[in-house]
């Protein structure tokens, strides 16, 4: 057993497309995140192109320093795919055909009724002595060898294959090496600046009983994730922290674990057999888009109106023109009238009305860019929230759409 924090892991990805900016390597951050959950922080990540010497050098360096090297890419059928050959060269062994893999590749082509080329057979050749890692997500099997002080695992770069083989092979092996998995918890906050979250978490993080706990943040505005892992399966300890974190952030926590905002709202409405209708102005359809991205949303959402023009606000949603004239389109009474009007038009339990100034132009001293009004009309009346968000057009729209869904979440939970 190796202590998780002292396991030296490096990642090495190969492929010209990664060095021209054509493809962004999202595999490595994904694996880093999963390893972090096991208490392991990756020490180094290297990208090299489809170049024999560069790949060989990077591989030798990494395996000289590490306990585990996870490689990705270079296992395809083309001439640029050099990984197996370069690993065999570094080990001083020949490549050998692995019959079960060759048969699996043949079978795959038979099923697709496609001709197998000699190049595809190349994907069944591995360094002598390698452990072959079967790949039920695609054509190219991975493999694992001993090189230097390291175990070197070579995986295909296609994300679904890379992630599948990490789940089946790499992560279980790391768990086995580092002992029992840590207990892991994550909460998602809406629109809390990371510095505020950090300050609010200080008492928990500085508590001596939590000295062995790893805390972390991830910010995808307007979502801020706070996560922690307790070593050696300390589930009860992780739950005690969860109780503290809930009492610190309260309603700002919109989801825990793998839950996400729009699916939570759709599920709550479906459970209550309720429906929502939307009248959006400055968000321009973003709330509708977030809701309808969720499979099954048609059970709880039937009508949205993007009422960008004043005519559309009064014509289709029934906002009285004199209200628009008296208060302006971006105002509390208009948001309220949008929510109540669309609730009626859509014969829905809930109506959401949104109006605001996303920018970059359209601001005034009284109503600067970022001013928004979000209204939720429901069986118990109408609630309106007024905010002035900072940031560019995208950020104002996104934060406002989240706010609308979050109001609906709070109204429909339980």
| Interface positions, 178-217, toward a second copy (CB under 8 A) | 216-217
Structure tokens given for 219: 């910010």
Q: Contact with a second copy (CB under 8 A): which of 56, 60, 61, 137? A: 61
Nearer to a second copy, 252 or 345 (CB): 345
Per the structure block, which two tokens stand in for 258? Answer: 């793998």
Task: Give the nearest distance from C-beta 24 to a second copy in angstroms.
Answer: 5
Q: Which is nearer to a second copy, 143 or 162 (CB)?
A: 162
Tell me the CB-side half-sphere exposure of residue 235, using CA atoms within 13 A.
Answer: 2
| Exposed/middle/buried for residue 141 (C-beta within 10 Å: 0-12, 13-18, 19+) | buried
Among residues 275 and 409, whose Cβ is nearest to a second copy?
275
Q: Which two tokens stand for residue 20?
A: 């021209």
Distance CA 374, CA 389 (A): 12
Strand partners, 384: 375
Q: Does 293 bind a second copy (CB under 8 A)?
A: yes
Six-digit token string for 322: 């004199």
Query: 3-state class of 227 per DSSP?
Result: strand
**Is residue 165 part of the contact set for a second copy (CB under 8 A)?**
no
From residue 126 to residue 155, the character string flagging contacts with a second copy as x (rule: CB under 8 A) and all else as - is ------------------------------
Nearer CB in complex with a second copy: 29/129: 29
Span 264-283, contacts to a second copy by CB under 8 A: 278, 280, 283
User: Which residue has 């709880």 as its token pair?
Assistant: 300
Kindly provide the b/e burial profile for residues 33-50, where b requires at least 16 CB atoms within 10 angstroms of the residue's own CB: ebbbbbbbebeebbbbeb
Helix (H) or strand (E) holding 350: strand 350-356
Q: Which stretch binds a second copy (CB under 8 A): 138-146, 147-155, 235-243, 341-349?
A: 341-349
The nearest distance, CB 44 to a second copy, in angstroms, is: 5
Q: Give the number of other Cβ atoms within 10 Å of residue 110's Cβ.
A: 10
Total of residues contacting a second copy (CB under 8 A):
71
Q: Which of residues 25-54 bind a second copy (CB under 8 A)?
A: 26, 28-34, 36, 41-49, 51, 54
Instruction: Tell which positions 351-370 bind a second copy, by CB under 8 A.
Output: 359-361
Q: Does 297 sit near a second copy (CB under 8 A)?
A: yes
Residue 46 or 372 with smaller CB distance to a second copy: 46
Identify which of residues 29 and 233 has a Cβ nearer to a second copy in the complex: 29
> Dihedral sign, CA of 335, 336, 342, 343?
positive
Q: Does position 341 bind a second copy by CB under 8 A? A: no
Pairwise CA distance, residues 155 & 161, whole Å:
8
Does residue 317 contact residue 293 with C-beta atoms inside 8 Å?
no
CB nearer a second copy, residue 135 or residue 297? 297
- Looking at the Cβ atoms of 66 and 135, the one nearer to a second copy is 66
In the window 218-237, what residues touch a second copy (CB under 8 A)?
218
**Distance between CA atoms of residues 404 and 276, nearest Å:** 11
Using CB under 8 A as the binding rule, whether residue 312 contacts a second copy is answered as yes
Q: Does 80 bind a second copy (CB under 8 A)?
A: no
Q: Judged by CB under 8 A, does residue 316 bind a second copy?
A: yes
Q: Say which DSSP state 318 is in.
A: -
Nearer to a second copy (CB atom), residue 134 or residue 328? 328
77 binds a second copy (CB under 8 A): no
CB of 46 to a second copy, least distance (A): 5
Least Å from the CB of residue 216 to a second copy: 6
Q: Is 298 in the site for a second copy (CB under 8 A)?
A: yes
Measured CA angle at 174 (ends 169, 177), to 5 deg: 125
Q: How far apart are CA 246 and CA 254, in angstroms?
A: 11
Tokens 């580092």 — which residue?
178
Using CB under 8 A as the binding rule, whether residue 285 contacts a second copy is answered as yes
Query: Distance between CA 311 and CA 71 in Å, rounded?
Result: 58
């Amino acid at each position: 057993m190796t202590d998780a924090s002292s396991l030296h892991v490096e990642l090495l990805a190969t492929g010209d497309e990664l060095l021209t900016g054509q493809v962004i390597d999202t595999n490595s951050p994904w694996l880093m995140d999963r390893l972090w959950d096991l208490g392991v922080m990756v020490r180094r990540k290297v990208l090299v192109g489809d170049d024999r010497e560069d790949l060989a050098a990077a591989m030798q360096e990494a395996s000289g320093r590490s306990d585990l090297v996870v490689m990705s890419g270079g296992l395809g059928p083309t001439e640029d795919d050099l990984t197996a050959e370069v690993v065999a060269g570094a080990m001083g062994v020949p490549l050998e055909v692995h019959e079960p893999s060759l048969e699996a590749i043949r079978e795959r082509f038979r099923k697709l009724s496609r001709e197998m080329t000699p190049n595809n057979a190349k994907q069944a050749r591995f360094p002598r002595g390698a452990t072959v890692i079967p790949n039920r997500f695609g054509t190219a099997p991975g493999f694992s060898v001993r090189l230097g002080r390291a175990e070197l695992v070579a995986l295909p770069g296609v994300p679904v294959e890379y992630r599948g083989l990490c789940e089946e092979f790499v992560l279980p092996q790391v768990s086995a090496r580092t002992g029992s998995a840590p207990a892991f918890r994550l909460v998602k906050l809406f629109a809390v600046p990371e510095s505020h979250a950090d300050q609010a978490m200080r008492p928990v993080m500085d508590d001596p009983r939590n000295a062995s706990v790893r805390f972390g943040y991830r910010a995808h505005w307007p979502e801020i994730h706070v996560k922690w892992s307790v070593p050696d399966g300390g589930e009860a300890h992780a739950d005690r922290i969860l109780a503290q974190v809930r009492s610190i952030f309260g309603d700002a926590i919109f989801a825990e674990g793998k839950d996400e905002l729009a699916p939570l709202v759709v599920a709550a409405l479906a459970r209550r057999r309720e429906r929502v209708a939307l009248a959006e102005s400055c968000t321009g359809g973003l709330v509708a888009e977030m809701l309808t991205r969720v499979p099954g949303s048609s059970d709880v959402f039937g009508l949205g109106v993007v009422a960008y023009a004043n005519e559309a606000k009064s014509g289709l949603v029934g906002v009285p023109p004199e209200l628009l004239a008296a208060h302006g389109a971006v105002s509390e009474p208009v948001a309220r009238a949008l929510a109540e009007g669309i609730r009626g038009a859509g014969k829905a339990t809930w109506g959401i009305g949104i109006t605001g100034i996303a920018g970059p132009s359209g601001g005034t001293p009284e109503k600067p860019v970022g001013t928004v009004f979000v209204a939720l009309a429901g069986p118990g009346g109408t609630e309106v929230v007024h905010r002035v968000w900072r940031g560019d057009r995208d950020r104002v729209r996104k934060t406002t759409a989240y706010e609308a869904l979050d109001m609906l979440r709070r109204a429909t939970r339980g």
